[in-house]
Amino acid sequence: MKLILIGAPGSGKGTQAKYLTEKYHIPQISTGDLLRAAVAAQTPLGRQAKAIMDAGQLVPNDIVIGMIRERIIRPDADQGFILDGFPRNIAQAEALDQILDKLGRPIDAVLQFDVDAEMLMQRMIGRLTCISCGALFNLFTQPPAIDDKCDECGGTLHSRSDDNEETIERRLHIFESLTQPLSDYYKQKGILHIVEAHGDVTEVTKRVKSALRGLRPKRTPVKPMLAAVASPKKNAKPAVTHTRVTAPEPKIRPRKKIKTLSGNTTVKKLEIKKELPEVISKKTIKAAARKKAEALKAAAEAELSDVALDEQLKALEAELKQTKAQLKAVSDAEKALIKADKEKDAALKKALKAETARLKKGKKAPAS
């Protein structure tokens, strides 16, 4: 199975790619991973890419496409592959089609993960990754059992430095302007499948299964190279081949024997029962629609209730913060008064001591 996953950052491509690799036993191919591996291995394309990246420039299409070609012809990708993050634009898509057409291995399906911007922001801001095993969690939708600890290996979880609101908005804008036209490109080819990526991981996985149900891998024959035709010798007579043509013998169909019925013979009529499919009445449809509307209304009310609770919680937090500030101010004033009282007491004691000493000295002095 040869698949392409496209979608905005945070739409769940990586999570579903992991499921698909296990289901079809095919590798997940990411341009970022390919670039890092090529640079580390110091391949010819890796050295070119490193020189360009060190200069602060974007790696051109021809180098990226060359890395993709080298990867998909490896033995582990013979049964298929999953392209994650490639192609990013129409030029890369057309170049990929040319490579796969030559190999006789066209793309089977393109899955586009659609999710609204607000959900994307929540997923990316709350995203946590395990440093040790790479497992993904989310503070809002899939929190770990223990804060900052991976449920699978116990490793430390961290959030990416670029998972902030400003960076995310910029990345989404780039996706819409450059990558979104790929949707129209693959839609014209008839291989685009839209996957609603809202909800939890299990629900999205069910939609991916539904999109790929009944899909069979495509393979087109590779065009062989034509052998060179030898030029005929001069004055050589053309070879003549004789072929005997025999006419096919006509097929004679045997006549069906017709049984005659005697006068006393009775023929039983065959009763054929036709099972008609159950017809859904308008009443049933209206009831289902009413039930769905009520469920949507309840969900909206619950959401509004949650929003109201959030606002009340924020107001209480602000009030608590203000109260704490007031208590601190009162405490500081009380401390200042105590300190002033202590200083006043010390000054009085000092004055009293001085006065006492003066009086004692006056009594001791002789009368004149």
Q: Is 69 a catalytic site residue?
A: no
Residue 127 known to be catalytic: yes
Query: Of the residues 18, 50, 69, 88, which is catalytic?
Result: 88
Of the candidates 2, 25, 28, 4, the residue with the CA atom closest to the CA atom of residue 113: 4
DSSP string, 43-81: -HHHHHHHHHHHTT-PPPHHHHHHHHHHHHTSGGGTT-E
* Catalytic residue flag (residue 207): no
| The one catalytic residue among 2, 123, 127, 207 | 127
Token digits of residue 103: 């190999």
> Rounded distance, CA 200 to CA 145, Å?
17
Q: Cβ–Cβ contacts within 10 Å for residue 256, how many?
A: 6
User: Could you identify the residue written with the tokens 């999710």?
Assistant: 115
Give the pair of three-digit tokens for residue 288: 């289902």
Which one from 13, 105, 123, 207 is the annotated catalytic residue? Answer: 13
φ, ψ at 83 (rounded to 5°): -95, 120
- Classify the C-alpha dihedral 349-355-359-362 as positive or negative: positive
Q: Any catalytic annotation for residue 105?
A: no
Q: Is the dihedral of CA 310, 315, 318, 324 positive or negative?
A: negative
Give me the catalytic one of 50, 171, 187, 218: 171
Tell me the C-alpha distance between 12 and 115, whole Å.
Answer: 9
What phi and psi values does residue 142 have, to the nearest 5 degrees? -145, 70
Reply yes or no on whether 339 is catalytic: no
Distance CA 71, CA 64 (A): 11
Of the residues 102, 160, 286, 324, which is catalytic?
160
Question: Where does the chain have alpha helices with state H?
Answer: 13-24, 31-41, 44-54, 61-72, 90-103, 117-125, 165-174, 181-189, 201-212, 282-364
Q: Which residues are catalytic?
A: 13, 88, 127, 160, 171
